Amino acid sequence: MERKYKHLFFDLDHTLWDFEANSEETLIELFDSFHLNKYFDDFNDFHARYETHNLYLWSQYRKGNVDKKTLNTQRFYLPFSEVGFDDIAIAQEFAKQYLAVSPTKTRLFPNTIEVLKKLQPHYQMHIITNGFREVQSKKLKNSGLAPFFKNIYISELIGVQKPHPYFFDYFIRSCNTSKKEALVIGDSLEADIEGAIKAGIDQVFFNSKQLQHEKNITHEISALDQLLPLLL
Ligand SMILES: [Mg+2]
């Protein structure tokens, strides 16, 4: 059978690597080791405050309004200072440990490895990610994902973030393929799906949370094993 696509470009965080579960596990450990129960009502109080700041700072980072160092420290410093724990040095140390510990976590979305094993004989597979370069390779290695992927495209090394069209043109050129033979698979409507649409590349929206949207997307799935009937 002649397959439509030759190259599959997977986002990593929230698409294969279960970012939420792995991040929460890390934050629970650090919450205890930094004795944050002295300042917050409980872990959930800290986590909710952190999430608010983290989401906002990431959106600013993608737009180029804040740098990586600011994002990384402020997402902890801001929730700390909200509860009267105004210590930038501790926030910096917390941020450092978060980046050291989280990539050692290995939870993946259900059936990730099984699905990749079945796709591997038929496709060249690659990672396209906006995550920090020093953690993404460790995550891939520790979680057993690394052997499935030929190239790892990291926005920091390319110089722009998804959804910037240059990012998409870059990996197509680098793989010596065409946009017609490529498929982008990701969980972010903004970074992955809109980016691919604008670049003229077909997309699979991994909508595990069943979000409502108005976009005209090539394919949509709510679990990774739904890729198999689409691609095999
Ligand atoms: Mg993602």
- Cα(37) to ligand 1 centroid in Å equals 30
> Could you tell me which CATH number the domain at 20-104 has?
1.10.150.240
Q: Does the domain at residues 7-18+108-231 carry the CATH identifier 3.30.70.360?
A: no
Q: Give 41's contacts (C-beta < 8 A, 6+ positions apart).
A: none
* pLDDT value for 2: 82
Q: What pLDDT is attached to residue 166? A: 97
Distance 187 CA to ligand 1 centre (A): 5
The CA 81 to ligand 1 mean position distance, Å, reads 29
Q: How many Å lie between the centroid of ligand 1 and the Cα of residue 83?
A: 30
Q: Cβ distance 195 to 202 under 8 Å?
A: no
* Model confidence pLDDT, tens digit, residues 107-155: 999 999 999 999 999 999 999 999 989 899 999 999 999 999 999 999 9
Q: Tell me: the pLDDT tens digits for 33-74?
A: 999 999 999 999 999 999 999 999 999 998 889 999 999 999
Distance 216 CA to ligand 1 centre (A): 19
Q: Output the CA 186–ligand 1 centroid distance in Å.
A: 6
pLDDT tens-digit profile of 73-117? 999 999 999 999 999 999 999 999 999 999 999 999 999 999 999
Say yes or no to pLDDT of 1 above 70: no
Q: How far is the CA of 183 from the centre of ligand 1 (A)?
A: 15
Domain ranges within the chain, ordered by starting residue: 7-18+108-231, 20-104
Place of tokens 């650090």: 30
Q: Are strands 202-206 and 182-186 parallel, antiparallel or unpaired?
A: parallel
Residues, the chain: 232
87 and 80 Cβ atoms separated by less than 8 Å = yes
Q: If you measure from the C-alpha of residue 30 to the centroid of ligand 1, how many angstroms do you get, rounded to a whole number? A: 23
What is the whole-number distance in angstroms between the Cα of residue 10 and the centre of ligand 1? 9
pLDDT of residue 62: 84
Query: At 163, is the pLDDT very low, low, confident or very high (cuts 50, 70, 90)?
Result: very high
Helix ranges (DSSP H) in 120-219: 133-142, 155-158, 165-174, 195-199
Angle separating helix axes 19-33 and 88-101, nearest 10 degrees: 130
